[in-house]
Structure 1
Amino acid sequence: MHGALTKATKEWPSIYFRTSIPEQYRNYLATKSKLAIFEPWHIGEKEPIPSVDLSQCEVVFTLGLIDDLSILDLAPNVRWVQSVSVGLDALLNERTIQQDLMITNTKGCTSVPIAEHTLAMMLGFSKNIPALITNQQTNVWGKVPVNDLAQANVCIIGYGQIGYEIAKRCKAFGMNITGCRRHPTVVSDNYADTIVGMDQVDDVLTEADYVVLALPATAETDNFLNADRIKKIKQGAVVINVGRGNAVVEADLVDALIDGHIRGAALDVFQVEPLPKTHPFWNMEQVIVSAHQAYFSNQNMDRIMNLFAKNMERYLTGQPLINQINKQKGY
């Protein structure tokens, strides 16, 4: 352990940890908090039923992405919810929005692994790595067609912290980068060559060799990439989605992949997860499917716990919390 976690001073309030916490953190948290309750919960598992009284808990540290916080009936004194995920798909509902409750996410903690995953997918397509693997598996000694990333055009839609880290790595490869965001203001230490507003997305898609979606799940991003918008994308481009599955009309993307307008797609998120076994994406050679794991890294928990410790010190001293989300906007 290092960083803010080891610098914490005041006693922490009672906390309900509604996810799996590695042993090296559990011991520290148990001694630091007035009361620390641990209920292991992995994504994909059945939601645990609280085994103890939660009436004294002030803080909940939870998965977030699949947690609707129905436990608030058992924890009426909760004032702050720390989501382990960046997305808050299930966490934001009518009750949590209306209740006097602070909600924070882990924005920034997973930006690096998501950015690295994105570059891995770009390299996979530019260097035709799936074809190389197929040749190896079939004992074929032969060249495959490849392209450079240098001078290729990438359009990053959703130019927040994740988009920034993606652009940083794209710049190292000599790519031409356009960032699209709600407010196209100048970003400090910017790596994008151009930043445009979301109302200009269709204009920049026409030159994009790679279209990267890093959008949050909101009503505004529902079905963002539909048939009409796909037609505006440069012929032969690659689509990469590391944001949220709601942004893509999957049937329209399948059609564009079949007719060749879109050369390939690397998809980490989907409308329905787990991706149904009958979905055509599974059997399309030009598609790389990953199981919503672009964010994952063995270093994530270090970053998350240090963010939580920093926020706890702010919470105890009445300062604004880092990454406190606007519950009405959803991010």
Structure 2
Amino acid sequence: MLTVLHGDSRPPGMRGIEDTAVVRYTREDGLAEALSGADALFVYDFLSKAVPGAWHAADRLRWVHIASAGVDPVLFPEIRDSDVVLTNSRGVFDRPIAEYVLGVLLAFAKDFARSAELQSRKRWLHRESERLTGKRALVVGTGPIGRAVAGLLSAVGVHVSGIGRRARADDPDFGTVHAADDLLEHLPEADFVIAVAPLTEHTKGMFDSRAFAAMRPTARLVNVGRGELVVTSDLVRALRDGVIAGAALDVFETEPLPQDSPLWTMENVLVSPHMSGDFVGWRDALVEVFADNFRRWRADRDLRNVVDKQLGYVPSTR
């Protein structure tokens, strides 16, 4: 039996799976009951934090799939220590998020927000803009999303390097990858710092007051990873005090972003509501990834995107 955890709407395109298996749909409040007797769980509502609280009812669960690249909502001690296989939707959002990153870098360089504001006031004010060509970007996180970001930025002339688990000088996408322990040493080299790392005990709060102090005063931070990578209060102070020049934020420690957050009204901040990877058709794409893995699971074949539960992400082959 397959249990599907959904939010306001059920996942599309499930007819083929329903024809071959017993499927039980549930919202958060019914998850514990729906987990009893289930062999597999599809966490379509990937923002839900209900799975840990309902885990006691998982009496025969063998596989959990989450409809996102990040697995932190379903990676808790009980599942980490169990034999349950965990898979994610790695690959769906790589290119869309890379396009978002390129877009916000262009928005900063070409001052689009200021142009829109001046247009709303019918004010003609000529300015000069920055070039992206020759700028330096440090991509923190060298998984598929980080590699897609590196590819697009390199194509427009940005010099890209990465931060990963281990240092290497011959990476096919980044050229140079620095070790995560050396982050503070390499932050001063970057005009743009792009956070795409998964959320783990090692990455939580990695962008704090020390990190911002190490960055150039002209640098901008782009966070498309997880909100908890950034200490929000430290970021607000760094932006207010001119420690860094700006930030583009698609994810936040608290979502939705509270109405009283100063980030809403800062002129040097671009806010988007956790949508950097959400292209037209993304829900169907997520179900297609799950459906492929479901067929593999039923046929006792190797699953795609198996998460290393100790690392907290799918290990890269590069």
TM-score (ref. length: structure 2): 0.89
Instruction: Indicate if the aligned counterparts of 1:72 and 1:78 stay in contact, CA closer than 8 A.
Output: no
Structure 2 equivalent of residue 58 of structure 1: 39
Question: Is 2:254 aligned against 1:272?
Answer: yes
SS at match of 1:239: strand
Structure 2 equivalent of residue 218 of structure 1: 200
Q: 1:320 to 1:67 in 2, by over 3 A?
A: farther
Question: Structure 1 CA distance, aligned partners of 2:198 and 2:273?
Answer: 17
CA shift, 1:53, in A, is 5.8
Over aligned residue pairs, what C-alpha RMSD do you find? 2.2
CA shift, 1:279, in A, is 1.3
Question: Structure 2 CA distance, aligned partners of 1:304 and 1:52?
Answer: 25
Instruction: Indicate if the aligned counterparts of 1:128 and 1:145 stay in contact, CA closer than 8 A.
Output: no
Instruction: Indicate if the aligned counterparts of 1:82 and 1:105 stay in contact, CA closer than 8 A.
Output: yes
Instruction: Indicate if the aligned counterparts of 2:14 and 2:287 stay in contact, CA closer than 8 A.
Output: no
Instruction: Indicate if the aligned counterparts of 2:136 and 2:190 stay in contact, CA closer than 8 A.
Output: yes
Structure 2 equivalent of residue 44 of structure 1: none
Question: Structure 2 CA distance, aligned partners of 1:221 and 1:28?
Answer: 39
TM-score (ref. length: structure 1): 0.86
CA shift, 1:183, in A, is 2.2
Structure 2 equivalent of residue 26 of structure 1: 14
CA shift, 1:186, in A, is 6.4
Q: 2:138 aligns with which of 150, 155, 172?
A: 155
Instruction: Indicate if the aligned counterparts of 1:152 and 1:175 stay in contact, CA closer than 8 A.
Output: yes
SS at match of 1:155: strand
1:83-232 alignment runs, 5 A limit = 83-185=66-168, 190-232=172-214
Q: 1:53 to 1:198 in 2, by over 3 A?
A: closer
Q: Deviations over 1:14-72 (max 9, x none)?
A: 3222224454x1322222x2212233x5xxxxx24259865442111113442342444
Question: Is 2:224 aligned against 1:242?
Answer: yes
Moved more, 296-305 or 149-158: 296-305
Q: 1:129 to 1:95 in 2, by over 3 A?
A: same
Structure 1 equivalent of residue 316 of structure 2: none
Letter in 2 for 1:17: V
Q: 1:50 to 1:241 in 2, by over 3 A?
A: closer
Identity %: 31
Q: 1:153 to 1:241 in 2, by over 3 A?
A: same
SS at match of 1:112: helix
Question: Structure 2 CA distance, aligned partners of 1:180 and 1:203?
Answer: 11
Instruction: Indicate if the aligned counterparts of 1:178 and 1:195 stay in contact, CA closer than 8 A.
Output: yes
Question: Structure 2 CA distance, aligned partners of 1:295 and 1:205?
Answer: 25
Structure 2 runs not aligned, ≥5 long: 314-318
CA shift, 1:158, in A, is 0.9
Q: 1:98 to 1:195 in 2, by over 3 A?
A: closer
Q: 1:232 to 1:51 in 2, by over 3 A?
A: closer
